[in-house]
Amino acid sequence: MPFGLIKYGLSRRYPVTRKFPARPELKPRYDVVIIGAGGHGLATAYYLAKHHGITNVAVVDKGYVGGGNTARNTAIIRSNYLTPEGVRFYDASLRLFRDLSHELDFNIMYSERGHLTLAHTEAALRTSRWRAEVNKHLDVDSEVVSPEEIARIEPTLNLSRDVRYPILGALYHRPGAIARHDAVAWGYAIGAAERGVEIHPNTEVTGILVEGGTATGVETTRGTVRCGCVVQAVAGSSGLLAGMAGFKLPIRSVPLQACVSQPLKPFLDTIVVSGSLHVYISQSARGELVMGGATDPYQLYSTRSTLDFTEGLMGHVLELFPFLGNVNILRQWAGIADMTPDFAPVMGVSPIKNHYLDAGWGTWGFKATPACGTYMSELVATGRVPGMIAPFALERFRRFDQFGERGAASVGH
């Protein structure tokens, strides 16, 4: 009998503390309204308060805190991208992630595991070498490894040559990590609320007030609010919010599904990704295998799950780990990914003055959370686009200046 635990639960010396205040009434005006109380929106609010002393901020969300894509991703953190601008940005984010539990005084269960991107073709090996060179040039620890080295790094991986697509090598990125995604949202929410930011869940934005080409407020299901500026950080709903402000985005909303297995004893040390086999897999602290693959094949604003997804994914997982054949899938779910044509985000200014964008995060958004918060808050506070996010401007599409991150951002292309 856990007598100690019962005593603890009944003792008055350990009262339950409320992590952040109950939702207040909406004020008529704020300096900043952030639409979206996910990781990105809450991180932006946190750094606005912490770095810039801006606390007259309301974060509104149609659902509950961190209930969107922040709750639904496979929680992989890495900076082994292909373009120098991408690598710089994601590495800034990863470095912030490393210290985030300490920064937020909230355990986000950050676990550095090492990240293997498997190459099953010569073309993939070539891209791996390219990524390794760009990474090394920017002081990011990535290297191309041979099958023999992979066997030492991750002994449970199937390195047989007697498969459809044998593993020819991999890009090994030592800083690759996983974290508890919900905790990131909660930690930022608590930190922001402690500094005076108001968090308003179950408050859906139904309209954006634009006067003379400038955003001046938002209409919500709980009333209309005026503000100095609006930040939208709403992932799959990006196009809908942009539509309220009167402009379009180069974004398609597509479901991204994921699943977990029953808990197993720890055997998978690293995070394993295969572009050719459309699969990424890691083992959580609970022992569950967290698995994901390509996005759904067509646009949809629904987080429904399909058998097609699990069937297809499991076929690929079993090519890498055949001994998992009898393991059960425990749970599957989906998020709505805001996909851009070049697999890079859309950050910065919009055609509407004082309406700022943090969108187009597709299947690559969770790892960017701390950096997004940092640079979006700087944009809001100074009115100038930070150099680190200038390459992600919406305006790049007008110039046909697309990013080349498809190979490094996602699987299943």
Give the nearer residue to other proteins in terms of CB position, either 157 or 251. Answer: 251
| Total chain residues near other proteins (CB under 8 A) | 24
Q: 45 is written with which tokens?
A: 């609010």
In whole angstroms, give the CA distance from residue 89 to residue 249. Answer: 22
Interface with other proteins includes 398 (CB under 8 A)? yes
Stretch that binds other proteins, among 37-45, 62-70, 170-178, 397-405 (CB under 8 A): 397-405
Task: Let me know how long the chain is.
Answer: 413
Residue selected from 71, 125, 397, 404 as contacting other proteins according to rule CB under 8 A = 397
Residue selected from 252, 263, 329, 388 as contacting other proteins according to rule CB under 8 A = 252
Q: Helix (H, G, I), strand (E, B), or coil: what is residue 34? A: strand
Q: 353 is written with which tokens?
A: 């003055």
Interface with other proteins includes 251 (CB under 8 A)? yes
Residue 302 beta carbon to other proteins: minimum distance, rounded to whole angstroms: 5
Residue 365 beta carbon to other proteins: minimum distance, rounded to whole angstroms: 17
Considering only residues 187 through 246, tell me which ones interact with other proteins, judged by CB under 8 A: 239-240
Q: 44 to each of 83, 117, 375, how far by Cα in Å?
A: 25, 30, 8
Helix (H) / strand (E) containing 20: none
Stretch that binds other proteins, among 106-114, 164-172, 225-233, 302-310 (CB under 8 A): 302-310
x/- binding map, residues 340-369, to other proteins, per CB under 8 A?
A: -x----------------------------
Residue 215 beta carbon to other proteins: minimum distance, rounded to whole angstroms: 19
Q: DSSP state, 347?
A: E
Interface with other proteins includes 315 (CB under 8 A)? no
Stretch that binds other proteins, among 80-88, 97-105, 148-156, 248-256 (CB under 8 A): 248-256
Stretch that binds other proteins, among 72-80, 81-89, 196-204, 247-255 (CB under 8 A): 247-255
Residue selected from 8, 14, 64, 301 as contacting other proteins according to rule CB under 8 A = 301
Residue 143 beta carbon to other proteins: minimum distance, rounded to whole angstroms: 31
Give the nearer residue to other proteins in terms of CB position, either 14 or 301. Answer: 301
Count Cα neighbours of 42 within 13 Å in the Cβ-side half-sphere.
30
Residue 256 beta carbon to other proteins: minimum distance, rounded to whole angstroms: 14
In whole angstroms, give the CA distance from residue 137 to residue 143. Answer: 12
Bridge partners (DSSP) listed for residue 215: 210
Handedness of CA 302, 304, 309, 310 (dihedral sign): positive
Dihedral through CA 387, CA 388, CA 389, CA 395, nearest 10?
50
CA angle, 46 then 50 then 55, to 5°: 70
Number of Cβ atoms within 10 Å of the Cβ of 373: 28
Distance of CA 59 to the CA centre of its chain: 18
Interface with other proteins includes 306 (CB under 8 A)? yes
